[in-house]
Amino acid sequence: MQRFSILKGDIVKAKTDAIVNAANTSLLGGGGVDGAIHRAAGAELLAECKNLGGCKTGEAKITKGYKLKAKYVIHTAGPIWRGGKWNEDQLLKSCYENSLLLAKENGVRTIAFPSISTGVYCFPAERAAKIAVKTICDFLKTDTFFQQVLMVCFDEGTKEIYLNALKEYSEKS
Ligand code: ADP
């Protein structure tokens, strides 16, 4: 899948049309990637987020990118891992799908994702990577709109996990 790449980096620096924020349901900022995005985008991002009325788990909302290189931020609330029997897999899939759909509606052709839910929300990384890779690659199979979808992993270990998931996906399909 040529339009999908997995790399190590800081998503805040991505030069894509949009970056995705692994936010929480309040959309009022948090730690991890959420904190980094808000710090880099500036206070105007939080001001816009305050008017959005939050975001349900698995859904996505869009704002401008302010001081970021990206024109837009797509905020999605990932599921908190509670053992796997609380619809976590489907909710994580919805995060990727709804972010891609919202991006497309807004004319976004290049987009970068972080590893949603695998930090403070404790979703097992291998399981999350399989879901992320399958959802994105299945989407791109029938889509001609996106030019580039990036998975920006913050550390080498996470990158390896996503690369393995992609290898497994490619061998199956
Ligand atoms: P969640 O609450 O959804 O688990 P976190 O922000 O805690 O979100 O973590 C999600 C992933 O984002 C983790 O793999 C974490 O290492 C990674 N991360 C943290 N900061 C950045 C960043 N600046 N760019 C890309 N990924 C990041």
C-beta of residue 11 within 8 angstroms of C-beta of residue 1: no
Return the pLDDT at 2: 86
User: Annotated catalytic, 17?
Assistant: no
Return the pLDDT at 111: 98
96 is in which domain, residue-wise?
4-172
Q: Whose CA is nearest to atom 16 of ligand 1?
A: 154
* Single-letter amino acid, residue 137: C
Strand segments, DSSP code E, in the chain are 4-8, 18-23, 60-64, 72-77, 110-113, 148-153
Ligand 1 proximity of 115 Cβ (cutoff 6 Å): yes
Q: Which atom of ligand 1 has the smallest separation from the CA of 36?
A: 23
3-state class of 111 per DSSP? Answer: strand
Q: How far is the CA of 105 from the centre of ligand 1 (A)?
A: 25
* Series of mean pLDDT values for 10-residue runs along the chain (173 residues): 93 98 96 98 98 98 98 98 98 98 98 98 98 98 96 98 98 88
Q: How far is the CA of 36 from the centre of ligand 1 (A)?
A: 9
Q: What is the pLDDT of residues 98-111, one digit of tens each?
A: 999 999 999 999 99
Return the pLDDT at 36: 98
Q: Which atom of ligand 1 has the smallest separation from the CA of 31?
A: 6
C-beta of residue 162 within 8 angstroms of C-beta of residue 132: yes
3-state class of 72 per DSSP? Answer: strand
Q: How many domains does the chain have?
A: 1
ipTM value > 0.85: yes
CATH number at residue 13: 3.40.220.10
Return the pLDDT at 68: 98
* pTM over cut 0.80: yes
